[in-house]
Amino acid sequence: MKPLHKSLLPLFICPMITFAGTEKPIADVNWDISFEQVKQSHKIKPEEEIKNRLTYETELFDTAFHKEYIFNGQGKLDNILYYKSFSAQAKNCVSEYNRVKSKLESQYGQTKTDIKSINVLADTPTEKLCGFTATGEYKLDTKWVTNNANISFALDTWKGQPYVGVSFKRL
């Protein structure tokens, strides 16, 4: 993994989530910002740049995450994703999900988490659930709605690799 650089964005573009009460929630982002404005606001080059998508390495809750900006057909910001991948052998994806969920709940309020499981996993140690997530047999999903965004937080799989991801989608 490459060394991480912190993204330094002006608050009106996309603030980091904090709990000291000094910054606006990320869902209060200016959704009308353009692709070029996001690029200009970063001091580092994107990790990936393709049409309608920019990805940067960043931190969320003192943990390394990828931050992806997705733009609509009109070139306006439509979705901000934070995601962190795990190996199928990892033992901490559920504990990491719960840690980040706790941080999100402190900002957006408590809500129900949907658990999707193909098998009965009640007696399965949480340390083994990353393996089930990697195969698509176990998923967690928590949702919030704010005045201008749908927020979804998931433990899921992408191409056989478990990940935790937060999505802030324009209403």
Tens-place pLDDT, residues 75-99: 899 999 999 999 999 999 999 999 9
In CATH, what class is 26-170? alpha beta
pLDDT score for 29: 82
Q: Where are the domains of the chain?
A: 26-170
**CB contact set of 1 (below 8 Å; sequence gap of 6+):** 64
In the predicted model, what is the mean pLDDT of residues 18-30? Answer: 55
* Residue 33 C-alpha from the chain's centroid: 19
Task: Look at residue 24 and tell me whether its pLDDT is greater than 70.
Answer: no
The pLDDT score that the predictor gives to residue 6 is 36
113-126 pLDDT per residue, tens: 999 999 888 889 99
Residue 15 has pLDDT above 90, yes or no: no
